[in-house]
Amino acid sequence: MDDRLKKALDVSNYMITLTNQKRILVEQYNNNLVYYFKGGEFTVTPQLISFCQSLMQLNQTEVVLIDDGNLPIEIEDLDDFTKNILNVYFVASNRYLTEYSRLKKNRSVEGIIE
């Protein structure tokens, strides 16, 4: 096989593998952003965090939030709930950054897969 063709195939395989691994990382990140509370499922987003913090600034302690399944969930301690979702967000984001940084450093298909 011609060296140029082999190099082109190697680059193509690398790019396909890199794209797939990035997609997997995004899926894992989105899964890690889910917070389960009192039978409800909340995807933690900056908007949810900001909304909860806005409610706390208005001295709200007990609220009803609508979860991802459109179910009303009573939050009896908004401060605790907000701390928990912040933790979920930062843990998921830091894990994503760590894995993405590792992925960027690898320059071979074998290194990416490991």
Return the domain boundaries, the chain. 3-109
Q: What is the DSSP string of the chain?
A: --HHHHHHHHHHHHHHHHHHHHHHHHHHHHHHTEEEETTEEEE--HHHHHHHHHHHHTT--SEEEE-TTS-EEEES-HHHHHHHHHHHHHHHHHHHHHHHHHHHH--SHHHHH-
> Looking at residue 40, what is its pLDDT?
96
> Looking at residue 109, what is its pLDDT?
55
Is the pLDDT at 7 greater than 60, yes or no? yes
Is the pLDDT at 67 greater than 60, yes or no? yes
Query: Burial level of 11, CB count in 10 A (0-12/13-18/19+)?
Result: exposed
CA angle 94, 96, 100 (to 5 degrees): 120
Lowest mean pLDDT among 12-16, 26-30, 82-86: 12-16
> Looking at residue 5, what is its pLDDT?
76
CA distance readout (Å), 30 to 10, 98, 102: 30, 15, 18
For the CA atoms of 22, 83, 85, 82, what is the dihedral angle to 10 degrees? Answer: -140
> Looking at residue 74, what is its pLDDT?
97
> Looking at residue 113, what is its pLDDT?
52
